């Protein structure tokens, strides 16, 4: 039996302070909980390992897993000590690792030094995702980031010096008041550093965040949708010229340096999320842990075992917040929606092999209408977003939602 590739996501919900735009599951001022939280994560990994063994022997899921990718996300995982990171990686080895796993850590430029990078590299981290966000100090201040543009630059150079040869940089555009020259300058500053990967996100004003409140109160101008689209097109043009491949709606990479971990999400394959609020897609179920770090620690300390039937009964008395069983319509829909985010789109033969159903008859009307509207390209091999479709992704994805869906895949 060939092992099934598994991606492990490890969530660290601790930050030094909360950024003005952020509605992620992250908390400032809770660092005292980190040791207990790491203990809870260690226990969760072992419980899942035991569960996988029992579940495979008692259900139709006869699966052996092999970890292809590990992703330390947050929050701010770079607040951890290198020894703690090494310890967590070792605990993950409860599941066998592939020969060359990708191990990514998200780093906040305001929390790191050269020594840190050298030590986490020795611990096995081989990819960094640096939350630079902007190279304009005014924008960084507006976003409530704890670092300056220069500190982001320094952090990148330190990581390089420590030997990292696979670095992503996150940047945000369409900020209130941001001009096109300001965005272009941020892009050019980033490119001067030659990152292997760039993730570019248009700012979303999230209800309840200070930034959304300032815009609502009229203190800041609402970002203009047309300008945001132009900023995206400018990035496409510049990054294309620089040789980056635009392999996903918001992601560009030097060919061969695409993020293997995120590709698992976009291809809708197995992943296990460990930690408060972390999401998983495994054993034919989708599930997520409780989002409060304190509650997560308490629930884990009271857990001794995950009985083989507990996913079927909705994760009762466990650390999970929700569990959803498999549903082929939902899986097909998620596979199309996530797969269309990729430049390569959906391959007809792979889809048919996975679901024993042909894509075109299953979604004929939706596909024909979207092709007609110029949002989708279709040929004998598959379907993919057109240039215009990339700008209007959610309009395309909505058409593939199953009836009565909440639209949770559209994020």
Q: How many residues sit in the footprint of ligand SF4 (CB under 6 A)? A: 10
Quote the least distance from Cβ 287 to ligand SF4, whole Å. Answer: 22
Q: Which of residues 52-91 bind ligand SF4 (CB under 6 A)?
A: 74-76
> Measuring CA to CA, how many Å separate 376 from each of 39, 108, 228, 235, 345?
47, 37, 21, 21, 10
**Contact of 284 with 55, CB cutoff 8 Å:** no
Beta carbons within 8 Å of 126's beta carbon, 6+ residues apart: 102, 103, 104, 164, 166
Task: Considering only the stretches 21-29, 239-247, 325-333, 390-398, report the one whose residues sit in contact with ligand SF4 under the rule CB under 6 A.
Answer: 21-29
Q: Which of residues 34-53 bind ligand SF4 (CB under 6 A)?
A: none
Distance CA 264, CA 118 (A): 28
Which CB sits closer to ligand SF4, 28 or 157?
28
Which CB sits closer to ligand SF4, 19 or 103?
19
Quote the least distance from Cβ 327 to ligand SF4, whole Å. Answer: 32
- 26 part of the interface to ligand SF4, by CB under 6 A: yes
Quote the least distance from Cβ 404 to ligand SF4, whole Å. Answer: 32
Quote the least distance from Cβ 238 to ligand SF4, whole Å. Answer: 25
Quote the least distance from Cβ 108 to ligand SF4, whole Å. Answer: 5
Quote the least distance from Cβ 406 to ligand SF4, whole Å. Answer: 24
Site string (343-372) toward ligand SF4, x via CB under 6 A: ------------------------------
Distance CA 159, CA 252 (A): 20
- Grouping H, G, I as helix, E, B as strand and the rest as coil, residue 15 is strand
b/e string for 140-161 if b means 16 or more Cβ within 10 A? Answer: bebbebebbbebbbbbbebbbe
Residue from 6, 8, 10, 19 touching ligand SF4 (CB under 6 A): that is 19
* Closest of 189, 173, 184 to residue 238, by C-alpha: 184
Distance CA 233, CA 355 (A): 35
**Contact of 256 with 247, CB cutoff 8 Å:** no
Site string (105-124) toward ligand SF4, x via CB under 6 A: ---x----------------
Which CB sits closer to ligand SF4, 78 or 178?
78
Q: Which of residues 162-201 bind ligand SF4 (CB under 6 A)?
A: none
Q: 């966000």: which residue's tokens?
A: 133
**Contact of 22 with 209, CB cutoff 8 Å:** yes
- 104 part of the interface to ligand SF4, by CB under 6 A: no
* Closest of 46, 75, 104, 87 to residue 263, by C-alpha: 104
Task: Considering only the stretches 19-27, 87-95, 384-392, 394-402, report the one whose residues sit in contact with ligand SF4 under the rule CB under 6 A.
Answer: 19-27
Distance CA 386, CA 326 (A): 31
Task: Considering only the stretches 17-25, 117-125, 284-292, 339-347, report the one whose residues sit in contact with ligand SF4 under the rule CB under 6 A.
Answer: 17-25
H helices present in 7-144, as ranges:
34-58, 82-92, 114-122, 137-143
Quote the least distance from Cβ 66 to ligand SF4, whole Å. Answer: 30
Length of the chain: 411
Quote the least distance from Cβ 296 to ligand SF4, whole Å. Answer: 16
Which CB sits closer to ligand SF4, 121 or 145?
145
- 24 part of the interface to ligand SF4, by CB under 6 A: yes
Enumerate the β-bridge partners of residue 12: 74
**Contact of 310 with 367, CB cutoff 8 Å:** no
Distance CA 88, CA 107 (A): 16
Which CB sits closer to ligand SF4, 3 or 144?
144
Can you read off the two tokens belonging to residue 409? 């895949």
Query: φ, ψ for residue 278 (rounded to 5)?
Result: -75, 140
Which CB sits closer to ligand SF4, 26 or 136?
26
Quote the least distance from Cβ 147 to ligand SF4, whole Å. Answer: 10
- 203 part of the interface to ligand SF4, by CB under 6 A: no
Task: Considering only the stretches 12-20, 247-255, 261-269, 360-368, report the one whose residues sit in contact with ligand SF4 under the rule CB under 6 A.
Answer: 12-20
Query: φ, ψ for residue 31 (rounded to 5)?
Result: -60, -25
- 212 part of the interface to ligand SF4, by CB under 6 A: no
- 18 part of the interface to ligand SF4, by CB under 6 A: yes
Residues in touch with ligand SF4 (CB under 6 A): 15, 18-19, 22, 24, 26, 74-76, 108
């Amino acid at each position: 039996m060939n092992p099934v590739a598994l991606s492990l996501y490890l969530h660290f919900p601790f930050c030094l302070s909360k950024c003005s735009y952020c509605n992620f599951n992250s908390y400032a001022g809770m660092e005292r909980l980190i040791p207990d939280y790491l203990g809870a994560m260690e226990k969760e990994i072992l419980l899942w390992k035991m569960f996988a063994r029992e579940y495979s022997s008692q259900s139709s899921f006869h699966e052996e897993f092999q970890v292809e990718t590990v992703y330390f996300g947050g929050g701010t995982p770079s607040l951890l000590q290198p020894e703690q990171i090494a310890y967590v990686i070792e605990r993950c080895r409860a599941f066998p690792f592939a020969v060359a796993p990708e191990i990514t850590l998200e780093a906040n430029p305001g929390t790191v030094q050269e020594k840190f990078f050298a030590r986490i590299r020795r611990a096995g981290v081989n990819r960094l995702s640096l939350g630079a966000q902007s190279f304009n100090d005014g924008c960084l201040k507006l976003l409530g980031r704890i670092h300056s543009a220069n500190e982001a630059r320094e952090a990148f150079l330190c990581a390089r010096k420590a030997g990292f040869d696979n670095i992503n940089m996150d940047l945000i555009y369409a900020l209130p008041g941001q001009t096109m020259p300001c965005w272009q300058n941020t892009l050019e500053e980033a490119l001067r550093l030659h990152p292997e990967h760039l993730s570019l996100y248009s700012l979303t004003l999230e209800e309840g965040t200070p930034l959304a409140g300032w815009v609502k109160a009229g203190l800041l101008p609402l970002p203009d949708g047309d300008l945001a689209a132009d900023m995206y097109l400018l990035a496409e043009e510049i990054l294309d010229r620089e040789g980056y491949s635009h392999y996903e709606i918001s992601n560009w990479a030097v060919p061969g340096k695409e993020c293997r971990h995120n590709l698992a999400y976009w291809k809708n394959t197995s992943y296990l999320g460990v930690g408060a609020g972390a999401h998983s897609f495994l054993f034919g179920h989708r599930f997520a842990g409780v989002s409060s770090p304190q509650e997560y620690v308490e629930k884990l300390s009271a857990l001794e075992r995950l009985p083989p039937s507990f996913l079927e009964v909705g994760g009762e008395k466990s650390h999970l917040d929700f569990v959803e069983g498999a549903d082929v319509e939902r899986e097909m829909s998620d596979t199309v929606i996530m797969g269309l985010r990729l430049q390569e789109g959906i391959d007809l033969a792979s889809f048919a092999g996975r679901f024993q159903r042909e894509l075109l008859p299953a979604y004929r009307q939706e596909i024909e209408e979207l092709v007609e509207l110029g949002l989708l390209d279709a040929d004998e091999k598959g379907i993919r977003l057109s240039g215009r479709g990339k700008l209007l992704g959610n309009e395309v994805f909505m058409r593939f939602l199953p009836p009565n869906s909440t639209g949770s895949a559209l994020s």
